[in-house]
Amino acid sequence: MRRYLPYLIFLSVVLPVAAKAQFESFKDSVVQLYGVVMSADSLRGLPGVSIIDKHDGRGTVSNYQGVFSIAVLKGDEVEFTSIGFKSKTTLIPQNMDGNQFSMIQLMITDTVYLPASIIRPRPTKEQFERDFVKTSVPDDDIEIARLNNDVAKRRVLSASLPRDGKEAANFALKQSAQRYYYSGQVPPMNIFNPVAWADFIKAWKRGDFKNKN
């Protein structure tokens, strides 16, 4: 124990100093970024602009006057996005002095051109009535649920859908229990079991053995 005592004393002195230096370095790299987001054409404050730090994904939004404030690190890239405006990216200087950085971010209007749509009226009232009556209305959620609860639909789904984890585990445990039950002896032949024959006939009538392809 005495042999390791100098090392313990050295670590107890060096580790706090190194941790403090690392904390001071991290503290110096944190920057409080604040400012106003404005439109470039009218110089009005833009509310609801997303300000995202691309380094770690943290962000905030500007208030109703366009004012924002967020804590970032030196050297990070901050992206400004808003619907109807072009995205802007600002780089925080790596070698800046102090821990506060103010800015006025101008956003340029982004013009989006949509394809032209031509709306034509129905030729006649009779054609409108005919098309309206023949229009196929898609089923709502209640009708879809009712169709899925149909007996024939449930049989098809039960035959085609694979077992989930619980069903597969129960099936494997049942097979293992049956195998262990007849361990060391010959299992009975179900060909002479009338109950098995009854289940086989019912399954045949239901079409369980038909080719699903």
Check residue 48 and give left, alpha or beta (phi > 0: left; psi -120 to 50: alpha).
left
Residues 131 and 35 in one domain: no
N-to-C CA span, the chain: 77
pLDDT of residue 212: 56
* Tokens coding 95: 């070698």
CA proximity to 33, closest of 84, 82, 96: 96
Residue 141 belongs to some domain of the structure = yes
* Tokens coding 156: 């098809």
pLDDT of residue 18: 45
The domain tally of the chain equals 2
CATH assignment at residue 99: 2.60.40.10
Residues 65 and 161 in one domain: no
Q: Tens of pLDDT along 107-131?
A: 999 887 788 888 877 678 888 888 8
Residues 36 and 78 in one domain: yes
Name which of 25-29, 47-51, 144-148, 190-194 the model is least confident about. 25-29
| H/E stretch holding 29 | helix 5-29
| Helix (DSSP H) and strand (DSSP E) numbers for the chain | 6, 7
Domain hosting 161: range is: 125-206
The one-letter amino acid at 104:
I
HSE, side-chain direction, 13 A CA sphere, residue 31: 24
Q: Tens of pLDDT along 51-99?
A: 999 888 889 999 999 999 998 988 899 999 998 899 999 998 888 888 8
CA proximity to 49, closest of 99, 101, 111, 108: 108
Residues 103 and 157 in one domain: no
Residue 213 belongs to some domain of the structure = no
pTM of the predicted model as reported, rounded to 2 decimal places: 0.44
